Amino acid sequence: MSEILKVEGLVKRYKELIALDHLSLSVNKGEIFGLLGPNGSGKSTSINCILSLLEYDKGSITVFGKEMSPKAYDLKAEIGIVPQEVAVYDSLTVYENIDFFCGLYIKDSETRKRYVREAIDFVALNDFVKFRPKKLSGGLKRRLNIACGIAHKPKLIFFDEPTVAVDPQSRNKILEGIMELRDNGATIVYTSHYMEEVEQICDRIAILDKGNIIAQGTIDELRNMIKKSEIITIEAAGLDDETLEALRGLSNIYSLNYNDSILKIEAGAGRHNVIDIVNILQERGYKLKKIFSEQPTLNDVFLELTGKTLRDE
């Protein structure tokens, strides 16, 4: 696959604080690459360094095969950025805001006019083109923010926590739009501390913790990095201590909790985990009401690798 972005050994310090500690990653053409981590893990700092908006102490950054720098205007013209904070002009209408940001890169008036209309259609703001931002809801402001960042049709787009503080309907619209941009040929770098979003839309993921990438790969590759491969939940009343010990004795079981008639078991890789557990319970005459089996989440991966959950910070 063609490599669009490559970061090697990136270090960023704020006096005694190391914000990025030899961070390395690569992003391939046509993928959504997720940067997942708690607040303060270095996601926004990484993006600002990659875009040369922030000086860094050590490392190298290449975009489209060329070295990135503050004056690399040819590269920046092919990049879009949707920042975490809504960054639009309150004195301009929706149309005027999108036209202004598009005009920073597209000088031909007819092309710019077409691009602005396409961006408005894309984020479904047709009914609000004459509104100023203060009259828009939080979700509509986020969609305006996206339109301003993508109107010039960039090849590489950075989304930094674009769904913070928006309603579920707007969040779904934003996520669907990002996947559509990918399907239309753009390459996306997406930061979030919402693991559900990253699992939903990202092709590959890097997990950040304290400025370090502690793991990266596809969702399945990340899940395979930890012992836990299956979480089994069974509703069964009255399990005695002898039965619980028999379950703990199964070879793949390494965590078991039983409370209020709910049995929760964490198991390693195995084709017959549920069958083995159910056999023991049925042989002892227990009636089973509900049985669930699910794969570990990215939060489970983060918890096992760092000892804390994504929401701890």
Full DSSP string of the chain: --EEEEEEEEEEEETTEEEEEEEEEEEETT-EEEEE--TTSSHHHHHHHHTTSS--SEEEEEETTEE--TT-HHHHTTEEEE-SS----TTS-HHHHHHHHHHTT---HHHHHHHHHHHHHHTT-GGGTT--GGGS-HHHHHHHHHHHHHTT--SEEEEESTTTT--HHHHHHHHHHHHHHHHTT-EEEEEES-HHHHHHH-SEEEEEETTEEEEEE-HHHHHTTSS--EEEEEE-TT--HHHHHHHHTSTTEEEEEEETTEEEEEE-S-TTHHHHHHHHHHHTTPPP-EEEEEPPPHHHHHHHHHSS-TT--
In a domain, 24, yes or no: yes
Indicate whether 56 and 154 sit together in one domain.
yes
Residue 229 has pLDDT above 70, yes or no: yes
In a domain, 284, yes or no: yes
Indicate whether 72 and 169 sit together in one domain.
yes
In a domain, 155, yes or no: yes
What's the mean pLDDT in 205-215?
92
Indicate whether 135 and 47 sit together in one domain.
yes
Cα–Cα distance between 262 and 283 in angstroms, integer? Answer: 19
Indicate whether 124 and 255 sit together in one domain.
no
In a domain, 302, yes or no: no
pLDDT at site 176: 93
Instruction: Give the residue from 196, 223, 250 where a domain finishes.
Output: 223
Contact by Cβ (8 Å): 298, 36: yes
Cα–Cα distance between 208 and 302 in angstroms, integer? Answer: 9
pLDDT at site 313: 44
Indicate whether 34 and 114 sit together in one domain.
yes
pLDDT at site 269: 77
Which of 113-117, 251-255, 304-308 has the least mean pLDDT? 304-308
Indicate whether 136 and 262 sit together in one domain.
no
Indicate whether 176 and 69 sit together in one domain.
yes
Cα–Cα distance between 275 and 112 in angstroms, integer? Answer: 61
pLDDT at site 228: 80
Ramachandran angles phi, psi of 187, nearest 5°: -105, 135
Instruction: Give the residue from 164, 194, 223 where a domain finishes.
Output: 223
What's the mean pLDDT in 189-201?
90
User: How much is the mean pLDDT over the chain?
Assistant: 93
Residue 123 has pLDDT above 50, yes or no: yes
Confidence band for 194, pLDDT divided at 50, 70 and 90: confident
**pTM attached to this predicted model:** 0.85
In a domain, 310, yes or no: no
In a domain, 309, yes or no: no
Cα–Cα distance between 208 and 306 in angstroms, integer? Answer: 10
Confidence band for 215, pLDDT divided at 50, 70 and 90: very high
pLDDT at site 173: 87
pLDDT at site 296: 87
pLDDT at site 312: 47
In a domain, 38, yes or no: yes
Q: In the sheet that 262-267 helps form, which strands lie side by side, from edge to edge?
A: 253-259, 262-267, 230-235, 290-294
pLDDT at site 247: 96
Place of tokens 């090849």: 155
**Percent share of the chain, pLDDT over 70:** 99
In a domain, 300, yes or no: no
Give the closest residue to 64 by CA, choosing from 158, 195, 155, 178. Answer: 155
Indicate whether 115 and 61 sit together in one domain.
yes
Residue 120 has pLDDT above 70, yes or no: yes
Give the closest residue to 68 by CA, choosing from 81, 55, 84, 86. Answer: 55
pLDDT at site 311: 61
∠ Cα 194 192 209 (to 5°): 95
pLDDT tens, position by position, 2-43: 999 999 999 999 999 999 999 999 999 999 999 998 888 999
pLDDT at site 7: 97
- Residue 308 makes CB contacts below 8 A (sequence gap 6+) with 302
Domain span at 201: 3-223
**Percent share of the chain, pLDDT over 90:** 77
Contact by Cβ (8 Å): 291, 274: yes
CATH number, residue 133: 3.40.50.300
Indicate whether 145 and 250 sit together in one domain.
no
Indicate whether 252 and 198 sit together in one domain.
no
Confidence band for 1, pLDDT divided at 50, 70 and 90: low
pLDDT at site 110: 97
pLDDT at site 175: 93
Residue 83 has pLDDT above 80, yes or no: yes
Structural domains in the chain (count): 2
